Amino acid sequence: MDNSTLLNEVIAKAQTWLDGNYNEEAKSDIRRMMDAEDKTELIESFYRDLEFGTGGLRGIMGAGTNRMNIYTVGAATQGLSNYLISQFPDVPQISVVIGHDCRNNSRLFAEVSANIFSANGIKVYLFEDLRPTPEASFAIRYLGCQSGIILTASHNPKEYNGYKAYWNDGAQMIAPHDTNVIDEVMKIKVDDIKFEGRPELIHIIGEEIDKAFIEAIKTLSLSPEAIKRNSDLKIVYTPIHGTGVKLIPRALKEYGFTNIINVPEQDVVSGNFPTVVSPNPEEPAALDMAVKKAIETNADIVMASDPDADRLGIAIKNDKGEWILVNGNQTALLFVYYLITRWKELGRLQGNEYIVKTIVTTEIIKDIADKNGVEMYDCFTGFKWIAAVIRENEGLKKYIGGGEESYGFLPEDFCRDKDAVSSCTLMAEITAWAKDNGKTLYELLQDIYLEYGYGKEKGISVVRKGKSGAEEIAKIMSDYRTTPPVEIAGSKVKVIKDYKTLKMKNVATGEESDLDFPATSNVLQYFTEDGTKISVRPSGTEPKIKFYIEVRGEMKSRAEYDAADAAANAKVEAVRASMGV
């Protein structure tokens, strides 16, 4: 399609909004874009419809079919309402939970959704104010609801917002419900949306759920005596302007920790995230202020949650007294190692326990599970897949924990999404337990590498925005499939896994076998003879293609850590060069 054809189609689409049943605010914004000499914003706003995908909606806020606004949110909610009514005909009163984060328009979108659900005869439990995403997941289960939604764009930049839909187990939807809801949403026209709510069906919730959630989290403690002996542990915590401020300091205190050090500037709730460029705990700059506070107070650990408090980033001191950031793979390693170690010490391992990780997360987790006789499941990226494994094993096996490299972990099954609230309390407990055993967290991490082998991971995101960017990302994936690498950084590729076709190929023999996964996913993985693993996938929520690199090395003493790390860094750079990223 040439540019003039695309522009004509976009203008025609925008005109339907000017002629249709949309409010004056939206129409005024559209007129501004249509009158502008540069039509880029108009094209980006209308060149496609913002898709209600298997993870819900996520996009830049504004007027247009490709934007987050009350109409795209409204269509999603009306479609979900229609589906719920069709799926639960025998439930006397269908009910849903609505939660939201700190983002601009999140409360507006939550209230609009509450009105639409109630207009369709669905009872709504609407949180009184912003709350962590995992608490909303918990509330769906606690209140016995059939569904729920969260208004959040997680760690995306401030221009974004999002809409995540959950099923009655508190997990994000998977087949068949995800695609069925998508089908319902695609049928909705603006005149189908029931915006006029029924106030008698909207019930405001807050403290009752907060208390129940924290009480449940307190049952996770495995080392209460270590906490008592180290209750004054110096913990610097920042919510990065988000929902964690509502619950995490309180949870830490009720868990037994008395010395929570705030970062006052970042306790300010704001969808503009004024102290950071990006509210993402994966980004070093997002933790700068917290680390500065830790230096000032000689803290033991720094913890940060993202705006909807489902992901945790931490910083610790190394053996030189320098503050360093711990990546998501290392955080997951600490959690899994601690949980399995303590379960074993407490006699809880009976032979039917399991852990879960995503396919792009470090393979050392599997080594830990295997050595301790704990079953490990691999699943696709995204916590809905971890929740799906929990659902499949409900009543049959015992879940210990599960996580992913992107800073998400879930150490419980009373919630079904990644949870920074419980993760913060558990990470504080791990710090206290390590201290009780004469170790820092840094030394504990080194000891894990000593026992299971050194590993280094590097995530690289290549951003390609807009229509042209989406096309470029699609071509990159196509090129890798048609012309896969033969060797990477001097090591031959021995196995290729393609999760789009669910095939695994032994490169040496040419033999193919099936991958046992419940669905397909646009992910490629390459495994080389020297233990390197490279995963490539387009992001499902952001305009980028992601590369995940994991290399392995040797380490025989703590003193060799720096040398092992340097060698791994050199190998990572060689892999990057081989992959052209």
Residues labelled catalytic: 154
Whether the CA torsion 147, 216, 245, 296 is positive or negative: it is negative
CA distance linking residue 413 with residue 114, whole number of Å: 27
CA distance linking residue 431 with residue 437, whole number of Å: 10
CB atoms under 10 Å from CB of 563, counted, come to 13
HSE (CB half, 13 Å, CA atoms) of 305? 34
- 579, 458 in Cβ contact below 8 A? no
User: How do beta strands 398-404 and 353-358 pair?
Assistant: parallel
CA distance linking residue 406 with residue 544, whole number of Å: 15
Residue 512, strand partner residues? 505
Whether the CA torsion 180, 185, 191, 192 is positive or negative: it is positive
- 415, 289 in Cβ contact below 8 A? no
Written as one string, the DSSP assignment of 143-171 is TT-SEEEEE--TTS-TTEEEEEEE-TTSS
- 140, 148 in Cβ contact below 8 A? yes
Written as one string, the DSSP assignment of 56-100 is BEEEEBSSSTTSBSHHHHHHHHHHHHHHHHHH-TT-SS-EEEEEE
From residue 529, give the alpha-carbon distance in Å to each of 327, 394, 486, 487: 25, 37, 11, 9
- 524, 488 in Cβ contact below 8 A? no
Written as one string, the DSSP assignment of 266-331 is HHS--TT-TT-S---TTSGGGGHHHHHHHHHHT-SEEEEE-TTS--EEEEEE-TTS-EEEEPHHHH
Tell me which residue of 323, 332, 238, 329 sits closest to 286, measured CA to CA.
Answer: 238
Q: Please give the structure tokens belonging to residue 111.
A: 């209230």
**Residue 525 gets which letter from DSSP?**
E
User: How do beta strands 323-326 and 160-166 pair?
Assistant: unpaired
Distance of CA 367 to the CA centre of its chain: 24
Written as one string, the DSSP assignment of 532-572 is -EEEEEE-SSSSEEEEEEEEEE--SSGGGHHHHHHHHHHHH
Beta-strand runs (E) in 332-453: 353-358, 375-379, 398-404, 408-410
